[in-house]
């Protein structure tokens, strides 16, 4: 549910963010590719996997990028909870942003930007605030937006829902911080994890189609958000049922729940639909039919070390008609498709790549690129794939967010570093850096200086499309963009976040239930 600060809109988009409830505009021009039997997504070439070795020059550059992102998570916070703002210009917190913040604090310690004592103090401030307010979660799942002053649900003009993906990202970050600092931090993180009742969010009854039942709902909505936020309410009528990164992370953590009564059967993780496609007649990979934004291929990778897991095996969990997938390979193929299509000019008039959810010139943009859908015999519509036509590539205005290509460093490091360097080198008419702001401690919320601004567009032609090309740059930094950028670079360099996440006992036990193991 990758939403930004938007007014309440009573529509499917309110609940699912980038994963819109209706597929993008269909295209009929290209017939599906035919790849015959259900193909596994694997790679036996011995390709180098992270952590990667970087040159001294690249390491210094990545230090600067990471430090900027970390400073945002460390400084752009609300008091007294210490929780990071969802975006620099508004005093509202997102649970997902806090998850990235918690996981990012150990990175700041290890990189020498703060002491371990300061990191522990901030972590405890955040976790204590979250744990002390029982009104900020329903059945253990945190509300999407939180009040930075008391950690309760925010009512600052935004939809009040307990969001399973935002809650999952918060829990994943809490696990990382708890493993790093131990003691009280580990105790609170473990308690919050144990209190999360994923089974409460399972889709049941006539409200859902037969193919949707048994999957986890995107969110729960209270009947009276202000007076009784955790009282009566209902699950929203949308479920996680396609194997994008958000869906996998939610179901991964649901299988890790230490209390069996609150756990979701590991088979649900493998039941997620795996629609195959190809790019430019290349090898197949799983694509997400609801959004072609690049973030749908790397959010879970910020925590789960898929590079070390290798191909999974749905059949071993009793799930038929699902290919075995090496999700690291899958993300790499998606990144390569994005890069190829962008550099071939995906309607933007210029060559930056990394189309993903971000601020845009007219609001919140969710551009996307898609592979050619593969036609596979024997699959059942709805149960095995979304039966709609293949969606059309949609660059919207061609706005690029640096975190898109930047997070791809976990899969294609040379291309990612090259893109980040190119973004940093962009210049305004006066010769100043266009997208980059030198990291500056103590800068104001209104003029953030935390490395990369959220997004940019080099060929914006105005709302009517009649103006000449202009250079547009977002005014904000955003937690759910700065956070994954920090974690992804760290994983590519050292694997720190992966090691901490997988050192958790609840994660290790969940891995066993899922039939997964680290190969290194």
Per-residue pLDDT tens over the stretch 416-456: 999 999 999 999 989 999 999 999 998 888 889 999 999 99
Position 344 pLDDT exceeds 70: no
- pLDDT tens track for 36-88: 567 899 998 889 999 999 999 999 999 999 999 999 999 999 999 999 999 99
Q: Give the pLDDT of residue 69.
A: 98
pLDDT of residue 27: 38
Distance CA 179, CA 120 (A): 11
pLDDT of residue 36: 58
In tens, the pLDDT along 123-155 reads 999 999 999 999 999 999 999 999 999 999 998
At 247-295, the pLDDT tens digits run 999 999 999 999 999 999 999 999 999 999 999 879 999 999 989 999 9
Asked if residue 389 has pLDDT above 80, the reply is no
Q: How far apart are CA 113 and CA 439, in angstroms?
A: 12
The three-point CA angle 179-182-183 to 5° equals: 150
- Read off the pLDDT band of 6 (50, 70, 90): very low
Mean pLDDT computed over 359-371: 92
Give the count of alpha carbons within 13 A of 89, CB side only.
12
pLDDT number for residue 113:
98
1 by Cβ neighbours in 10 Å (0-12 / 13-18 / 19+) ranks as buried
Q: Which residues pair with 470 in a beta bridge?
A: 460
Average pLDDT of the chain is 90
- Report the pLDDT averaged over residues 321-347: 88
Q: Is the dihedral of CA 397, 398, 404, 408 positive or negative?
A: positive
Strand 372-375 versus strand 33-34 pairing type: parallel
The count of other CB atoms within 10 Å of the CB of residue 112 is 9
Can you tell me the mean pLDDT for 198-217? Answer: 97
Which pLDDT tens digit goes with each residue over 8-39?
A: 222 232 233 333 333 343 333 345 565 656 78
**Rounded distance, CA 70 to CA 75, Å?**
8
For residues 142 and 130, the answer to whether their CB atoms sit within 8 Å is yes
Could you tell me how far CA 495 lies from the centroid of its own chain?
18
The CATH class of 37-514 is mainly alpha
Structure tokens at 228: 């009784």
The C-alpha atoms of residue 297 and residue 145 are separated, in whole angstroms, by: 24
pLDDT of residue 33: 62
**With bands split at pLDDT 50, 70 and 90, how would you rate the model's confidence at 352?**
confident
Q: Determine contact, residues 97/143, Cβ cutoff 8 Å.
A: no
Distance CA 103, CA 73 (A): 10
Compute the C-alpha angle 269/245/130, nearest 5°. 90
Looking at residue 15, its pLDDT comes to 31
Q: What pLDDT score was predicted for residue 2?
A: 58
Please say whether the beta carbons of 412 and 315 come within 8 A.
no
pLDDT tens-digit map of 391-413: 889 888 889 999 999 999 999 99
Res 19: pLDDT: 36
pLDDT at 281: 79
């Amino acid at each position: 549910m990758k939403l930004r600060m938007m007014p309440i809109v009573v529509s499917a988009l309110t609940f699912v963010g980038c994963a819109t409830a209706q597929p993008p505009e269909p295209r009929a021009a290209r017939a599906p590719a035919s790849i015959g039997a259900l193909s596994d997504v694997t790679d036996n070439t011995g390709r180098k996997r992270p952590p990667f070795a970087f040159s001294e020059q690249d390491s210094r550059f990545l230090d600067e990028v990471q430090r900027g992102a970390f400073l945002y998570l460390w400084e752009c916070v609300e008091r007294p909870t210490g929780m990071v703002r969802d975006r620099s210009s508004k005093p509202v917190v997102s649970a997902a942003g806090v998850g990235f913040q918690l996981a990012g604090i150990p990175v700041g310690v290890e990189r020498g930007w703060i002491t371990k004592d300061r990191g522990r103090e901030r972590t405890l401030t955040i976790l204590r605030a979250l744990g002390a307010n029982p009104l900020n979660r329903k059945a253990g799942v945190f509300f999407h937006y939180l009040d930075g002053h008391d950690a309760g649900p925010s009512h600052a003009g935004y939809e009040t829902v307990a969001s399973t993906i935002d809650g999952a990202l918060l829990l994943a970050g809490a696990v990382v911080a708890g493993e790093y600092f131990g003691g009280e931090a580990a105790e609170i993180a473990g308690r919050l994890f144990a209190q999360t009742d994923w089974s409460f969010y399972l889709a049941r009854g006539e409200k859902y189609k037969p193919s949707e039942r048994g999957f986890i709902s995107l969110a729960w909505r209270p009947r009276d958000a202000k007076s009784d936020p955790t009282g009566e309410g209902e699950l929203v009528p949308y479920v996680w049922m396609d194997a994008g990164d958000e869906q996998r992370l939610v179901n991964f953590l649901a299988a890790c729940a230490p209390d069996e009564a609150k756990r979701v059967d590991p088979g649900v993780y493998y039941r997620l639909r795996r629609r195959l496609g190809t790019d430019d007649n290349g090898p197949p990979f799983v694509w997400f039919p609801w959004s072609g934004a690049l973030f749908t291929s790397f959010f879970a990778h910020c925590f789960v070390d898929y590079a070390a897991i290798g191909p999974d095996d749905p059949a071993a969990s009793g799930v038929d008609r699902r290919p075995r997938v090496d999700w690291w390979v899958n993300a790499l193929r998606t990144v390569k498709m994005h890069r190829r299509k962008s550099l071939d000019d995906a309607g933007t008039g210029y060559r930056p790549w990394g189309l993903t959810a971000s601020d845009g010139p007219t609001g919140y943009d969710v551009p996307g690129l898609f592979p050619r859908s593969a036609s596979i015999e024997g699959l059942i519509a709805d149960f095995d794939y979304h039966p709609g036509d293949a969606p059309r590539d949609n660059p919207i205005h061609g706005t690029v967010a640096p975190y898109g290509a930047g997070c791809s460093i976990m899969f294609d490091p040379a291309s990612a570093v090259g893109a980040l360097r190119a973004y940093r080198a962009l210049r305004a008419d006066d010769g100043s850096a266009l997208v980059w702001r030198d990291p500056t401690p103590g800068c104001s919320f209104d003029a953030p200086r935390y490395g990369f601004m959220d997004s940019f567009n080099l060929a914006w032609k105005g709302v009517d499309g009649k103006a000449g090309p202009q250079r547009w740059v977002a005014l904000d930094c955003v937690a759910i963009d700065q956070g994954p950028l920090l974690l992804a670079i760290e994983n590519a360099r050292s694997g720190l976040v992966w090691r901490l996440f997988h050192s958790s006992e609840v994660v290790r036990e969940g891995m066993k239930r899922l039939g997964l193991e680290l190969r290194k």
